[in-house]
Amino acid sequence: MVKNLRFTLLCFLLFSNFIFPFEKPNVVIIVSDDLGWGDVSYHESIIPTPNIDRFVNEGLELNRFYSNPICSPTRASLMTGLEAYTVGILRPISNPSTNPTGLPLEYKILPEYFKEAGYQTALVGKWHLGMNSKEYLPGQRGFDTTYGFMNGGIDYFNHTMSGRLDWHKNGVPLREEGYSTDLIANEAIKVIQNKQNNKPLLLYVAFNAPHTPIQAPYKNIEKFGYIDDPKERIYAANISILDKQIGRIIDSIKDEKLSSNTLILFFSDNGPVFDIDPIGAVVVPELLNAKGSSGGLKGSKGSAYEGGIRVPAFMMWEGKFKNESSNQFFFIQDVLPTLLSAAEIDYENSFFEGTSRWDSLLKRTVDKPQNSVLAASVAFEEIALFNNDWKLYFKKGPAGSNSVNYYELFNIIEDPLEEYDLSKDYPDIFNLMKETLNKIPKRNLQGYPDASYLYLHGDRMLSEESGTPWLNYDFELVEKPSPIIGTLIFVWILLLANKTYVILFILLAILLIYSIKKKIKRG
C-alpha cells in the first residue's frame, strides 16, 4: 500500500512538471546614465528622488554595486559577464565615422541567453555598443524589438547626436516628438502592457538621463527655483523626471499584476560628471554643464576611485526582498550570471569572469570579492582590483603613454572614502595584488583616445541636423589629421585647457619686459 502511494505521488510530481512547468520570472533591467552616488535623496541629495527611494525601501538596496568607470565598458560587461579588459572595450564607443568598433561578435550576450530559454526580449533606450555595421545592432544580437538610440548621448528633444538623427524603432530611423526620458518610459510601459502571455519577458531599459547635454522642459526646471545655480536647477529637473519615469515603469509592472514573478534590477552605468580633466573639458565642452554628486566618495566618471564606480542600485522581487540592504559586493560582470541563476537558466559557469551573487542575496550573506577588476582608459588608464576587503587602485596617463604607474592600496571596508593609502603598511598584500593586476591580459579594440582627432570630429550633442540619420549608413570614416597638424591642434588644446595659466604667464611676461625696459631707460 505504501509503495503504491509513493509510486502514485512520484507519477503525479513528474506529470505536474509537464502540465505546470516552472514559470520563469520576468526580468527588467533599468539603467541610468551618469547618476552619481550622491544624486539620489536616499543618499542625502538635495534632489528629491521619491520613487527610487520608495523602491529601495520596497526591495533590496545593493549598497556595494560597482560599474566600470565609463559607459560602454559597463554595458559590455553587463552583456557578456566579462571584465572590460577581456572584452576590449575600455572607453566610450564614439560615432561610427570616428570609431568603427563595437561589442565583439564572438560573444554570446545577455538577450541571447534569455531568448534561447524562451523569453521575449526587448531593448528600450541606449545601446552604445557599436553600429559600424548592421551585425552589431541590438536587433541582430538577441533582442526581438529595439527602440531608442545607438550612440553615447543625444539631444533630449531633437534626438540628434553630432548633427544626425539618432532615434529608431527596430533599427529604422524614427522622427518622433517628445523628451527622450518620457519616450523611453512610454515605450517600456507599452512592452510591459503588451507582454506575450506565453513567454516571460526580458526588458532592458537604458535611459540617457542624466547624461549630457543636461536638458529638461522649462516647466520642470521652474520647480527648482530654490536652487541658485541655473545649471544645477536643470540637472535637478533632469533627475526628477528620470525618477518619475522609473516610478511609472515599476508601477506598470504592479498594475499588470506581474510583481510576484518579476525581478527588477536598477543601477547607474558609472559615477557622476563633475571632476573634469581640463583637456576633457576642451574636447567635450558639454561636460561642463553636468552637476553630478558622488556624495563624498572620491573621484567621478572615468575614475576607478569609488566616486566613479560605486553607484546607486537596488533589486526588487515581491515576496523575496522587502526593505532590506545588502553589503554584498556586486560587480557589473556579476549581473549576467546572477540573473541567469535567478531565472534558473543553465549556463557554463567557467565562461564568465563575473560570479552569480544570487545565493548570497537570498541567504543574506556576504561573499568577499576574489580579484574582481573594473577598468577604463579615457584621459587616463585607471583600474580597480578588489580582493577580500582590499582595493588596489592603479592609474597611468595620459592613456597609452609611458607615464609612471601610480598605485594605492585601500581597506575599502574601513576606508570607503579612500583617505589612507596602506601600500607601505601592508607590503605583502600590496605586492601580491600588483602582481595579480600586472598579469591580467589587456585587450584594447579601440586603441587609445586621440585628443586632436576627438576635438575635430568627436561626438557633439548638437540639436541641429546637418546630415542624414546615423542608421542610413551614408557616412564615411573620417581620417585622422597628419602628425604635424595633430600636434599643432594638441598644442592649441593644451593652451585652451590651461588658459588661466597662459594668461597669467603672458601678463607676467609683459610686466617683466616692461620693468626691464624701464631699468634700461634709467640706466
- Tell me the pLDDT tens digit for each residue of 8-38: 544 544 444 444 455 899 999 999 999 999 9
CATH classification at residue 100 = 3.40.720.10
pLDDT at 9: 47
Between CA 39 and CA 295 the distance in angstroms is: 7
How open is the CA angle 345-348-354, to the nearest 5 degrees?
A: 90
Residue type, 142: G
CA distances from 322 to 16, 42, 243, 253 (A): 31, 16, 20, 17
* Closest by CA position to 192, among listed 266, 254, 138, 244: 254
User: With bands split at pLDDT 50, 70 and 90, how would you rate the model's confidence at 518?
Assistant: confident
Between CA 67 and CA 382 the distance in angstroms is: 13
User: With bands split at pLDDT 50, 70 and 90, how would you rate the model's confidence at 523?
Assistant: low
Residue 410 C-alpha cell reads as: 585601500
Q: Is the domain of 363 the same as that of 500?
A: no
- In the chain, the percentage of residues whose pLDDT exceeds 90 is 74
Between CA 205 and CA 249 the distance in angstroms is: 10
- Higher-pLDDT residue of 107 and 23 is 107
pLDDT at 22: 58
Is residue 423 a contact partner of residue 391, using CB atoms and an 8 Å limit? no
The answer to whether position 216 is within a domain reads: yes
Between CA 510 and CA 327 the distance in angstroms is: 59
The answer to whether position 471 is within a domain reads: no
Per-residue three-class SS string for 57-114: HHCEEECCEECCCCHHHHHHHHHHCCCHHHHCCCCCCCCCCCCCCCCCCCCCCHHHHH
> How confident is the model over 176-195, as a mean pLDDT?
98
pLDDT at 6 over 80: no
Q: How many CB atoms lie within 10 A of CB 107?
A: 17
Q: What is the mean pLDDT of the chain?
A: 91
pLDDT at 452: 85
Q: Is the domain of 354 the same as that of 491?
A: no
Integer distance in angstroms from the first to the last C-alpha of the chain? Answer: 126
Residue 11 C-alpha cell reads as: 507519477
Between CA 26 and CA 139 the distance in angstroms is: 20
The answer to whether position 449 is within a domain reads: no
Alpha-helical regions (H) of 383-482 = 427-438, 451-457
> How confident is the model over 129-136, as a mean pLDDT?
95
pLDDT at 388 over 60: yes
Lowest mean pLDDT, pick from 130-139, 372-381, 400-409, 504-513: 504-513
Residue-number span of the structural domain to which 76 is assigned: 30-372
Residue 236 C-alpha cell reads as: 535637478
pLDDT at 517: 76
Between CA 192 and CA 28 the distance in angstroms is: 10
User: With bands split at pLDDT 50, 70 and 90, how would you rate the model's confidence at 4?
Assistant: low
Residue 155 C-alpha cell reads as: 539631444
pLDDT at 486: 84
The answer to whether position 189 is within a domain reads: yes
Is residue 264 a contact partner of residue 30, using CB atoms and an 8 Å limit? yes
Between CA 43 and CA 381 the distance in angstroms is: 29
Q: Is the domain of 41 the same as that of 165?
A: yes
pLDDT at 512: 78
Q: Is the domain of 364 the same as that of 488?
A: no
Residues composing the chain:
523
Residue 285 C-alpha cell reads as: 565642452
pLDDT at 17: 42
User: With bands split at pLDDT 50, 70 and 90, how would you rate the model's confidence at 184?
Assistant: very high
The answer to whether position 495 is within a domain reads: yes
The answer to whether position 468 is within a domain reads: no
DSSP 477: P
Lowest mean pLDDT, pick from 20-34, 68-82, 168-182: 20-34
Q: Is the domain of 356 the same as that of 498?
A: no
Between CA 149 and CA 166 the distance in angstroms is: 5
Q: Is the domain of 328 the same as that of 203?
A: yes
Among 340, 372, 404, the domain-final residue is: 372
pLDDT at 504: 75
Q: Residue for cell digits 527596430? A: 170
- Higher-pLDDT residue of 322 and 493 is 322
> How confident is the model over 262-271, as a mean pLDDT?
98
Q: Is the domain of 76 the same as that of 204?
A: yes
User: With bands split at pLDDT 50, 70 and 90, how would you rate the model's confidence at 306?
Assistant: very high
Q: Which of 128, 168, 211, 457 is catalytic?
A: 128
Q: Is the domain of 202 the same as that of 327?
A: yes
Query: Structural domain tally of the chain?
Result: 2
pLDDT at 456: 84
CA distances from 74 to 162, 214, 329, 406 (A): 23, 21, 16, 23
User: Is 71 designated active site?
Assistant: yes
Taking phi over 0 as left and psi of -120 to 50 as alpha, with beta for the rest, 213 belongs to beta
pLDDT at 54: 96
Among 347, 372, 397, the domain-final residue is: 372
Among 332, 351, 372, the domain-final residue is: 372
Between CA 35 and CA 57 the distance in angstroms is: 19
The answer to whether position 401 is within a domain reads: no
What's the longest Cα–Cα distance across the chain?
A: 126
pLDDT at 13: 43
| H helix and E strand count, the chain | 16, 18
Q: Reply yes or no: is the peptide bond before residue 285 cis, omega within 30 of 0.
A: no
> How confident is the model over 163-178, as a mean pLDDT?
97
> How confident is the model over 345-365, as a mean pLDDT?
93
Instruction: Tell me the pTM.
Output: 0.92
pLDDT at 496: 78
Is residue 305 a contact partner of residue 386, using CB atoms and an 8 Å limit? no
Q: Which of 11, 43, 71, 211 is catalytic?
A: 71
The answer to whether position 299 is within a domain reads: yes
